[in-house]
Chains A and B, each alone.
Chain A
C-alpha cells in the first residue's frame, strides 16, 4: 500500500493482479449480475490508486479494499437500475413459464434468482459471511454498519430466501 501511495505503477499492477479475482468474486456476489462488475471493479481500483495514502498500516488491506468495493457497488446500482428491472421482469416471467424455466435452469438455479430479489446489503452480508468466512465484527467493519445490523440483515436475508423459494427451499438449500 505504501508503494502504491508513492505512485509506484509496478506495485499497483501487482496489487491489481492479486485483487482482481477477489474483487470480481465479491462484487459479483453483491451485484449478482455480470454487466456492472467490470465497471465497479475498475472504479474500486481507481479509488485504491488515489486513496492508498489514507490506508492505515495496521489495518487489513482486504477489509479496506472490500469496503471501497462495497460502496462503489452500491453507487453503481442507480446507474443500472433500468437494465436491472428489465432483467428481473424477464427472469420472473421465465420463472412462471416451465419451459423457459427449464432453459434457464442450466444457467441459474432458483437460489440465484431468489438472491437477486434480496437487497444488495443483504447479499453483501451473506457473501462476506458464507463465501469469505468473515466474523460478524469484520463484516460490520467492511459494510460500515453496527454488528446488530449485520445480524439482522443475515437473519432477514435468510428468511426472505425461504419465502421466495417456498417448497424449493428444502431442495435448493
Chain B
C-alpha cells in the first residue's frame, strides 16, 4: 500500500516539476500526453496547473520597470575608447605593434566624429580631428586613414586603391578603418581622388597636420 502512495507522490512531484513546460507547450508529445492523462484524474494537480497558467499569464505582461532607450552611438564610443586604450604587452615588442595601436587610436578619435556624422552629415567635425595628424608617425611616407562604405566590397576597394597608386598597410580595425600608403608623388591628389570615389566614406591624410 505504501508503495502505491509513494508512487502517486512521486508522480505528483514529477507532474508539478514539468507543469511549466506543459503549460508553455514545449513538452514532447509522449510526455505531454502522460501529464494530460494524470491531470484528468487528479484534482490537486489540476489546481496547480491553473496556478501555473495564471503565473505564466502574469509574467508575460510588460515589465513594470521602464526599458532603457537604445543608444548605439554611446556603445560605439565605448568600443572606440576600449580599442584606443593601451593594452599591456607581454614579451618582446613586435615592430608591427607600433603601427596597429596607431591606426586604432586614430580610428577611435575618428569614430567620435564618424558616428554622429553618419546620423547628421551636416555636423561639423569636433576639434579633436586636428590632432589626428599630430599623432601620426613622421617621415614614413604619405598615409591616409580610410573608411569605405558598407556596400563597398574588398575587391572594389583594392581596385580603387591600385588605380590611385595606394595600398592597404593595416586594417580594418574595430571602427572599420584602414591605414593606407599613398604614392609619394602627388599624395594630395591621390587622397582627393579617393575621397571623391563613390565607395569611400572617408579618406584623410594622417602623416601631417591637415590643412585647416
Q: What residues make up the interface of A, taking CB atoms closer than 8 Å to B? A: 7-11, 13, 16-17, 20-21, 24-25, 28-29, 32-34, 37-38, 41-42, 45-46, 49, 107-109, 111-112, 126-127, 129-131, 133-136, 138, 151-152, 154-155, 158, 161-162, 169, 172-173
Contact = CB atoms under 8 A, between A and B. Distances in A.
A8 B64 contact: no
Nearest to A41: B68
Contacts of B26: 133-136, 138
Nearest to B54: A173
Nearest to A107: B64
Contacts of B66: 34
B27 to A, nearest CB: 8
A32 B54 contact: no
B64 A29 contact: no
Interface of B: 16-18, 20-21, 24-27, 51-52, 54-56, 58-60, 63-68, 70, 72, 74-76, 78-79, 82, 150, 172-176
Given A42-B78, A111-B58, A29 B63 contact: yes
Nearest to B172: A7
Main SS class of interface, A: helix
Given A29-B63, A130-B55, A130-B59, 9 more contacts: A28-B63, A34-B68, A41-B68, A46-B75, A49-B174, A133-B25, A136-B21, A138-B26, A151-B17
B21 A17 contact: no
Contacts of B63: 25, 28-29, 32
B55 A158 contact: yes
Contact of A33 (B56, B65, B70, B175): B65
Contacts of B74: 42
Contact of A155 (B16, B60, B175): B16
Nearest to B28: A135
User: Lowest 4 CB-CB distances: which A-B pairs, in order?
Assistant: A38-B68, A135-B26, A10-B150, A24-B67
A36 to B, nearest CB: 10
A9 B51 contact: no
A136 B21 CA distance: 7
19 contacts: A9-B76, A11-B150, A16-B75, A28-B63, A28-B65, A46-B79, A108-B64, A126-B59, A127-B59, A130-B24, A130-B59, A131-B59, A131-B60, A133-B25, A133-B26, A136-B21, A154-B17, A173-B51, A173-B55
